[in-house]
Amino acid sequence: MTSLKFSFSPSAPAFKKDLVFVLGVHEPSNSLQLTKGTVDTSSLAKQQLEQLDVSAKFESITKIAAPNSAVYALIGLGKELKKVTTDNYRELGGAIARNLKLFTEAVIDLGKLDKVQTQALIEGIQLGNYEFFGKKSTNSIKASKLAKLVIVSAQKFSATELRQIEALTEAVNQTKNLVNLPPNEIYPASFVKQVTAAVKNLPVKVTVWDEKALAKDGFGGILAVGMGSSRPPRLVKIVYQPKGAKKHLALVGKGITFDTGGLSLKPAESMVGMKYDMTGAATCFQSVLAIAKLGLPIKVTGWLCLAENMPSGTAQRPDDVIRIRNGKTVEVLNTDAEGRLVLADGLSAAAEEKPDLIVDVATLTGAATIALGNRYAGLMGESSAVNDLDAAAKLAGELLWPMPLPEELRTILNSDVADIANVKIGNRAGGMLVGGQFLREFVPLEIPWAHLDIAGPAANAGSAYGYTPKGATGVMVRTLVMAAKSMSSNK
Ligand code: BES
Ligand code: MN
Ligand code: ZN
């Protein structure tokens, strides 16, 4: 993944070898039509397009030879040009970056775009250009060569504006990088190393609780979940507090670096993919970094609750009773409902500082995927916080769906021996909402709080689409940064 250089020109450059010209195709009244721009398309007669299998299907790309050994890349915009939304331009940008990797330079002329649409296109290109090869042997890697993009547009972006777009997309891409790491490499202590390395040169303060400090300060949830692993748990607090900040946003992330289920062990098939269980923490971490890089006038505190959930002779047992940071006791009936235990500590700690808004982000329940599929995050919480997050997601172009927190579901977590149980054995109804009800216990009612269950969209098991790659997706970073932006501009 190289850093991309963008330039803007009111007219297209001349055709030359290896230069790819991206044009849009739509299909008003059932005949293919190219977007009107400044690229010479005289060699593309209309009937030829159909014969060449060019399609207006959204995101489809057909490459055709152009004069002087240049190439046309015709990208489908759907039937009607006027139905292409701002978010669609972000997706188109992603498809362009993913499909034109073998070119170093691309000219993009999708007709007249306004500044917001152009920004979405740039974001999409930067997100779509993400690649993760892990430990693949180098000879099997076809890395993107894309380096220069000329956007044919009357719009201009200053170097500062481009840097800001990049700060945001970089945070999303770094979230993917962290989340895609295998769990033998990323564990609580190595996650902490990533954090301390990344904040160098940024006005961000990091505090780390190791297992001793966690015990001393009463973080019984993080400790209990982490105690089955030879790699001990950590809590990380990361603070960005610019001078004059009036509002305070707290982000609490579930950071289970691997979730075996603990003694309530997961079956083999369900354990695969549980490296993604630290996505919430990675998301909160990178959102704080982006907010700091953008210099938003708001205080942000990230709370990363890091533990590895393993079965062993030192692991917590079903039937254990633990004490959370805020003093409440929890009867642990299923050690696989561990996310809520670490978040209970994180939420308690966040609430002590009385921020203006707390948002927690977690791959909390498989039930979230049953309810909402794999593209929508579930949003729960106090209504003003839910509205703020909903609005931020719409502005950022991310998918989430507000869900209720029915009061009667709280009573099923009543325990005979503790203040609350972490599950009700045998209950499958409303699993995502029960998770939300549990977390609600650890936030005082007067603090606006929202809970994002990202079990579905955190990772993409299918093939890439739009700007979303296979594997880790980096969802909700853009929404959280947008929420911070809105908070900092509303008095
Ligand atoms: N990390 C899982 C949730 C999950 C499942 C995320 C599938 C992504 C895909 C979580 O810790 C978990 O195991 N939840 C249990 C809760 C249950 C025991 C109440 C679940 O969903 O089965
Ligand atoms: Mn679990
Ligand atoms: Zn989990």
CA distance 229 to 232: 6
CA of 95 to the centre of ligand 3 (A): 32
Q: One of 57, 148, 266, 470 is an active-site residue; which one?
A: 266
Q: Supply the Cα-derived Rg of the chain in whole angstroms.
A: 24
Give 299-357 pLDDT, tens digit per residue.
Answer: 999 999 999 999 999 999 999 999 999 999 999 999 999 999 999 999 999 999 999 99
* Residues 295-299, mean pLDDT to the nearest whole number: 98
Nearest-CA residue for ligand 1 atom 16 is 337
Bridge partners of 9? 152
The percent of residues above 70 in pLDDT, for the chain, comes to: 99
Q: What is the model's pTM? A: 0.98
pLDDT value at residue 2: 62
Q: Which CATH number does the domain 5-156 belong to among 1.10.10.10, 3.40.50.10490, 3.90.1280.10, 3.40.220.10?
A: 3.40.220.10
Read off the pLDDT band of 140 (50, 70, 90). Answer: confident
8 A C-beta contact, residue 105 and residue 74: no
- Among all ligands shown, which has an atom nearest to the Cα of 365? 1
The atom number, within ligand 1, closest to the CA of 434 reads 19
pLDDT score of 28 more than 80: yes
CA distance 104 to 145: 5
CA dist list (Å): 203 to 207, 292, 296, 372, 383: 14, 7, 12, 38, 32
CA dist list (Å): 373 to 38, 368, 452, 457: 42, 7, 14, 8
CA distance 327 to 263: 25
- Ligand 1 neighbour 260 (Cβ under 6 A): no
Read off the pLDDT band of 1 (50, 70, 90). Answer: low
Give 203-233 pLDDT, tens digit per residue.
Answer: 999 999 999 999 999 999 999 999 999 999 9
Which distant-in-sequence residues (6+ apart) come within 8 Å of 428 by Cβ?
367
- Ligand 1 neighbour 334 (Cβ under 6 A): yes
The mean pLDDT value of the chain amounts to: 97
Give 388-423 pLDDT, tens digit per residue.
Answer: 999 999 999 999 999 999 999 999 999 999 999 999
- Ligand 1 neighbour 336 (Cβ under 6 A): yes
3-state secondary structure of 343: helix
- Ligand 1 neighbour 337 (Cβ under 6 A): yes
152-156, 169-173, 351-355: the lowest-pLDDT one: 152-156
- Ligand 1 neighbour 374 (Cβ under 6 A): no
Give 341-383 pLDDT, tens digit per residue.
Answer: 999 999 999 999 999 999 999 999 999 999 999 999 999 999 9
Domain spans in the chain, listed from the N-terminal domain onward: 5-156, 164-489
CA of 155 to the centre of ligand 1 (A): 46
31-40, 301-310, 476-485: the lowest-pLDDT one: 31-40
CA distance 410 to 404: 12
Among candidates 222, 215, 228, which has minimal Cα distance to 314?
228
* Residue 340 among the catalytic residues: yes
Q: One of 237, 323, 340, 485 is an active-site residue; which one?
A: 340
Q: Which CATH number does the domain 164-489 belong to among 3.40.50.10470, 3.40.630.10, 3.40.47.10, 3.40.50.2000?
A: 3.40.630.10
- Same topology between domain 5-156 and domain 164-489: no
8 A C-beta contact, residue 20 and residue 105: yes
The percent of residues above 90 in pLDDT, for the chain, comes to: 94
CA of 356 to the centre of ligand 2 (A): 30
